[in-house]
Structure 1
Amino acid sequence: MGSEQSEVVRLLWGPHPKPARGPRPTLSLDGIARAGIEIADGGEGLASVSMQRVAGLLDVTKMALYRYVPGKAELVALMVEGAIGEDPLPDRPTLGWRDQLDGWARQLAAVFHRHPWLLDATVGPRIRGPRELAWMEQALVALDGTGLTGAERMDAVVLLTGHVREVVQQARAAGPAGTPEAQLIVTLVELMREHGERYPTLTAALASATPHNGDDQALDFGLHRILDGLGLLIAHRSN
C-alpha cells in the first residue's frame, strides 16, 4: 500500500491521534470535509476545490490545514465519505428485496443529484470509507435468502450503480434549460419537425418523451428492467 493510500485509510478509518506538537487542534475532519463539499457544490465541482480555498473557508492558513489533511486526494476522499451520507434504507427490515433495491437506487440517484461532483470523485480504484461500504452492505443484504451467490449479488449492485450513474451523468450533461447542452436537444426536436419523414420512429419517440422528467423516466425504465431480470433469476433458483 502506497503512502497516499495509507493516509486515506487512516483518515477514513482511523485512528486519528492528536498532533504531538504545535497548537491545540481547532479543526475536525468532518468540518474540513463539509467545507470542501460546500465549495464543490457551489462551484465547478472538484475543479473548484483546493487546499487554499478550503483553508480560507475555515479561516485558517493552508499550512494549518496540512496538519490534518496531507493533500487534495485525501481531502476528496473525506468529501466523498461526508457527502454519501448514512442509512439509505432505515426501514429496510419491513421491505422485500425488490423494494429495498428500488429504494436504495433512488436514494443513490438523489445523492448524485445533490452532489454531481461525486460522479467524478468515485471512479477508478480507490479506498472506500465506512459510510460508502455501508451502502454496499445494505444492497447486498437486500438479496439475502434469494439464492443468488455472493458474486451474483455483487454484480447486481454494480449493475444498479452503473445504471444510476449513467442516468445522472446524462442529466448533468444535458444541463438546465437555456444551457448550450439543453439547446442541442431543442434543436434536435426542431430538426425532426422539419425532417421527420426521414426518421419517423425517432420523431415519434421524441414526441412521446416528457421533457421535464426524462431522467426520471430513464431511471424508472432501467431500474424496473434490472429488477425484473433479477426476479426471473431468483425465481429460477427457487425452482
Structure 2
Amino acid sequence: MRHGGWRERLEEWARRLLTVFRRHSWVLDATVGPRIMGPGELSWLERAVSDLDGTGLSGAERMDAAVLLVDHVRGITQQARAAGPAGNPEAQLGAVLGDLMRTHGDRFPALAAALASAEQSGGQDQAWDFGLQRILDGLAALIDQRAG
C-alpha cells in the first residue's frame, strides 16, 4: 500500500525518475520518439497515472499529467547532462551571460535582475524543484476545481 496523498506520491515518483535519468543517462535517449515500449517503462507510467486515481481527473488528464512530469524531469536531466561534470546549468548560464550582460545589460533590465537574483543564491539550480512544485500546484488547483 502506498502512503500519502496523490501529491506526495507524484513528487516521490518524479524524484525517483530523476535519479534513474541521472544514473542511467542513456535512458534519456532510449525513451523518446516512436519505439516499442516495454513493461518497465509502462510500469513507471502506470504508477503516475494510478497515483491520480480518485482525484476527479479524467484518464486522459491523468496521462497528460504524467507526461508533463516526465517532460519536466527529462528537460532538467538533459540540461544537467549538457552542462557536463559540473552539472549546474543555471550557474553555467550565468557565467556565459556575464560578459554579454556587462556590455548590454541596460537593454535587458528584467534579465539582469533575474540573473542578479540567481547569483545571490550562489547560482544554485532551483529550476528542478521550482518546476516540480508549480506543476503539482497546477494539478492541485484543477483537482480542487473539480471537487468544488
- Structure 2 length normalisation: TM-score? 0.85
Q: How many residues align?
A: 142
Say which one has the larger Rg.
Answer: 1
TM-superposed deviation, 1:191: 2.6
Tell me, yes or no, if the aligned pair for 2:3 and 2:9 is still in contact at 8 Å.
no
**Larger mean Cα displacement after TM superposition, 94-103 or 131-140:** 131-140
| Cα distance change of structure 1 residues 129 and 138 upon mapping to structure 2, 3 Å threshold | same
1:197 matched to 2:114? no
Which gives a bigger RCO, structure 1 or 2 (Cα 8 Å, sep 6+)?
A: 2
Say which structure is richer in helix: 2
Deviations 1:112-151 (A, max 9, x none): 1111221111111222222221111111111111011111
Alignment of 1:219 with 2:146, yes or no, is: no
Structure 1 residues 148, 188: closer, same or farther in 2, change over 3 A?
A: same
Match runs of 1:169-208 below 5 Å: 169-177=78-86, 185-208=94-117
Is the deviation greater in 119-128 or in 183-192?
183-192
Cα offsets for 1:49-77 (capped at 9, x unmatched): xxxxxxxxxxxxxxxxxxxxxxxxxxxxx
Query: TM-score normalised to the size of structure 1?
Result: 0.55
1:98 aligned to 1, 4, 7, which one?
Answer: 7
Aligned residue for 2:70?
Answer: 161
Runs of 4+ in 1 over 3 A off after TM superposition: 182-185, 210-213
Question: 1:142 corresponds to which letter in structure 2?
Answer: D
Q: Distance in 2 between matches of 1:207 and 1:190?
A: 13
Q: CA RMSD in A?
A: 2.0
After TM superposition, list the pairs within 5 Å mapping 1:72-91 onto structure 2.
none
Any unmatched runs of 5+ in structure 2? none
Q: Deviations over 1:133-181 (max 9, x none)?
A: 111111111111101111111011011111111111112222234xxxx
Change (3 A) 1:115 1:190: same
Structure 1: segments with no counterpart, 5+ residues: 1-91
